[in-house]
Structure 1
Amino acid sequence: MATSGVIFKRCGCRDDQRRRLEQSCPRLGERGHGTWYFHCSATNLIGRKERVRRGGYPSQAAARHARDEWLTTTEADRTAQGWTVERWLRHWLDNRTKIRPTTRFHYTRNVDTVLIPHLGRYRLADLDAPLIRTVFAQIAATRNTKGRPQSASAMNHLRTTLRAALNLAVKEGVLDCNPARHIEIVATSNPTPRCGPTPASHPGNRPAPARRWRCGPPTSSPSSSAPSTTTRCSPSGGSPGYAGYGAVSCAGCDGPTSTSTAAP
């Protein structure tokens, strides 16, 4: 149910204490001093009475016409014109009762830390694709809580959250279409370099620990009766002749891993 409300005139004059005079200004009777406002209430989309005040009209007739036009609109149109994005995101979160706790946590984090600070002041009726693209470009230029550039994955999560919230607005008739549906996310380079597989690394890209080698006693060659002066070095705790990854050194002689002298 809608009420006709009131139409009044106000100005921006202040008294000696710098307080606004509002409707008590003695010059309000002068032609061209101040502007006209209307104040009324009507039922919103969720069945509650919602008060609205609009102003800046040059005449009383213009303010009355704007009031009548607002009262004749549908509940969905009044919601789009009167609700900010912040209020709608809060309403959407309150109605998402059948989601997992982790999903709610990520939705709430995206809404509180990014979407409301950048989009919360806009009205639902003002949302369109160019505006959202501009705002997302501004978000992509910021840094996350760890001081790193926003990743493509984080930007996609933000778009998913906003798109889900505006899908409800489309379903309720508040918006004709979802302006976040076709927003493209430009992938950014990963600021953290990753180690690739190299011969000096184990599977899993973890550097191999340095190995110490120990000199063993000379061994005899099985193919010759003459003794061989082959020195065998083995890694600490390993088997002789082990060819592992990583840096190696001999604990006894600090020389190469093996030395061999052929039999005469």
Structure 2
Amino acid sequence: MSSHGSLYKRCGCRDRDTGKAAGTHCSSLSHPGHGSWYYSLEVPAGLDGRRRRIRRGGFSSRRAAAQALTRLRTPSTDDLCNPNLTVGRWLAIWLATRIALRPSTLRSYTELTHNHLLPALGTIPLRDLHPADIQTMFTRLARKRHAEGGTLSASSVARIHATLRAALNAAVRERLLTDNPARYVELPPARRPRAVIWTPDRIAEFNRDGVRPAVAVWTPTQTAHFLSTIRGHRLYAAYHLIALRGLRRSEAAGLRWCDVDLDGGVLMVCTQLQRVGGQVLQVPPKTDSSRRLIALDHTTVTALRRHRRNQEAELAERGREGHGWVFTHAHGSPINPDYLTRTFGALVVSAGLPPIRLHDLRHGAATLALQAGASLKVIQDQLGHSSIVLTADTYISVVPEVARHAAEDVARLVLHAGRTAPGTTRPRRSARPPRARRARTHRRLR
């Protein structure tokens, strides 16, 4: 490998027969917008004497990858051997060498680093960084949050801490630190918001004060009204799929016809589309659990068949050929996930429904499945969660009907127990009046 580094292109596609990643050998890499660019660079040995190879990807163009490689190579990674290496310089090196991060995660790390970590810690020598320095930063962030009326939530503070901790863990692995000082910092608890239902009382409260819940979902009736209202829209099938089967917007945008089996009533989530740096990139699913099979009901299959006929007619009318994407613009190019979000917001307003986010439509799919009697495990698999705790704590709102059914079941259980003899399933015999028993005994004695 050249000491100046190399550039290459790869994607997240997998062979349908073997399941192995195509990587740099995918036949579609020559198509514009397919895959992303990477660089590779071998750097000098660090303090531990080991040589390292740095790889980083997710760039939308060869030029962007080349520019990032140049920034990493100059002034050079000799900084790793500099005893005065600052926290700021280490954070820059760490961000430039992340190879396993999704583009959206890398963008989040970069924003949190530049907005919060660099101003507070950037000039401190890395080896002199103390837990007290980090605690002071988070104390100031908490005060800033309260002073500005809650602009920085506890969950945002937790993400800042996670970013710093990951960067310092990497410094420990490089033998630049002996321990991670971020381990010893106390943070305010970050709780996931639980979804609430748009009941009539909650709608009335929203109309009075205009305060929107952090996570809100529609009732089944409201969801049905929305789908009925937009039935003629060209992206109806996309919103139908999200509302009933709980796909993420990036998963819906990245869905390809080769991943859909309408005859078998299933689809495979194996790729996503994400907007990063002004470009829409094809990326692997969020986690291993996100790569999943989703069963389709007959109404969803019907909606997708109708959508495919309409799509083929649109392309034929414009003399275009499709590239295999399920949801596209009229000329055949794939849909930007942000476009799905903007369009959804306009459709909600036109339907006259209480506001929810497009991601809340996914929350609602979980709630509908719970109401229909599905188990948490089934819902976890449907949504592609790695933990059933996440499913229970974040995505499931116990709708009133389900809660009432549970209450009735408990009452029936108790009443049934009261009607049976202890230790048996036989009905309990009713006790006879004491006076009648005494009379019968008296007759025997006679």
The interval holding the TM-score normalised by the smaller chain is 0.3 to 0.5
Question: So what's the TM-score if we normalise by structure 1?
Answer: 0.42
User: Which one scores higher on RCO, CA 8 angstroms, separation ≥ 6?
Assistant: 2
Would you tell me which structure has more strand in proportion to its own residues? 1
TM-score under structure 2 normalisation? 0.26
